Structure 1
Amino acid sequence: MSHAARLDKPVGGETGVAKAVCTSRWCDYVELAKLRITVMVVLTAWVGYVLAVPMAAWDVVTILAMTLGVGFSCVSSGILNQVWERDADARMTRTQNRPVAAGRISVTQGVVLGIATGVLGVGILYLGTTVLAALLALATLLVYVLIYTPMKSLTPWATHVGAIPGAMPPFIGYAAGTGSLSADAWPAFLILLVWQIPHFMAIAWLYRDQYASAGLRMLPSVDRTGRRVSAHVAVTSLLLVGVAAMPLFARFGSAGLLYGVLALGGTVAFAAAGVWFAARPCDGRARVVFITSLLYLPFVYAILAWDRP
């Protein structure tokens, strides 16, 4: 689902025990599932549910089904993505030790696990929440795996296409609670949609040489001057300020003063980091954008979910 990412670095000074744990088959399956990303995706789906359903009407069974359904669907997309990109992953230092790329889990195993978890996730959403939530999850999975993933080797616009399935979890959570999508579901979706561009541009800038060697046409790997990267980061960072202001209007949920002060203040700070990078692209500034993006999203989502009318 979401294609949010982290900066993987080798960790030195591991003990023999730590190495034994990290080379176990269990560790391979955990890495294959990308559990940290899955947890983040599930949390964004929870935000959608909170926006849709008043606390007094929360249903434990629905929340559990939504959590499991979104979680398994996200795991599925991550597994199938790794199967598809195994050759590219093997050529990149930051991904060459992924289980499928390294050959510790076979392609057949990956495909079976990916399809099984996808069917399980969509099925749980269908049986335990609403038809719309299940359909949105299925569409997200198909677009991510069959459109976004192969596009990465063809065009730098893949990042923008991938941002659409990446932003769907709040919609899925909202639909799980109501069976429909209303205007107040849109801000959470759009914040996540726009946020992904500076977030992933920062990652791609830091690893632009590796992406280029792997044949993945991320914008920083083909735009060696950084002019187009700067434009994309600056425009989307500033656009995020307008998108983040949407909940302040009655049509989109009527967020309160707390959201207006803290969330918009945080958005302006994140936008400033993006514009600062765009003024002179370099690794140090890209790292600041990346770290700021990781702090920004949970901060704004938490306030959006809390400061309800």
Structure 2
Amino acid sequence: MKLSIVTTLYRSAAYVDEFHRRAMTAASAITDDIELVMVNDGSPDNSLELAVELHKRDPRVVVVDLARNFGHHKAMMTGLAHASGELIFLIDSDLEEPPESLPQFYELFKREGCDVVYGVQENRRGGVFERTTGALFFAALDVLGDRPVPRNVVTSRLMTRDYVNALVSHQDREFIISDLWQVTGFRQTPIIVKKLSLSPSTYSLRDRIELAVKHVTTTSTRLLYFVLYTGILIFGLSGVLILFYLGRYFTSGMGVDGFTSLIISVWFLGGLITLILGILGIYIANIMSETKRRPYTLVRHIYKADAVVDRKSSRDGDAQLAIRR
């Protein structure tokens, strides 16, 4: 049985060597046929150089160098597309999720006979603000999304070949990988993972906000219905007010006055219209991105099995899959 370990590299120079050592040690308790796929997501440090050195020392290491930074989720999908094992273990390289948990994933996988074992934090890490905003974020996703969002899911997951083939077959250009994990289906079983805090997150506040917006606008159309219902509500209230003031004018001769109320109404409706246009604009931008049919990543080089494969000359099926998608 061949086991593939897939990870991504972004500002990961401090962890590359230790991750390799610990991941390979954990995997060797399961099988001797191991492959470690490292995807360099345009890392600005020397993560790529360190990974290539590992490849030279250990031919089991496959390094996929992306043409630029495409984002964590797209890099993970590219790594999965290049994995060739019967079982695939996806994990971040920052060591916050310990590679030593792999045998526990495998034992549960054998016991349950499932297709996926995915890691879940027992308690969300971070301060009060982070935990509170996280809870509000998940609550909002439950309201605006088409399906409940699993809480505190981490990257670590052990998957079968059939599941990964189904996962990478999705044609989405803009996606949230946790949503694809869920909609792909199959038999999935959670396992508690203790996530450590070893390094500052590479996700800035702006990245987190963009991720939240993308999650809502790429996985559900409920926000569009919210816009529709808001318009119906305002139209209905406006109709009631028009009838009220017309009735008062014809019965008592009292007109409508009040500069302040007029300005407040104008600003309120102007802000609401701007918000609605912004929501529609995001959906239209997603449609444009999908219809362009551009690949979601481009591979510059693949370092594997004593060969360097570049994107232009490659005839490797896996490489072509990542380029086409």
Instruction: Considering Cα pairs closer than 8 Å and 6+ residues apart, tell me whether 1 or 2 has the greater RCO.
Output: 2
- TM-score normalised per structure 1: 0.24
Question: Which of the pair is proportionally richer in strand?
Answer: 2
Larger radius of gyration: 2
- TM-score normalised per structure 2: 0.23
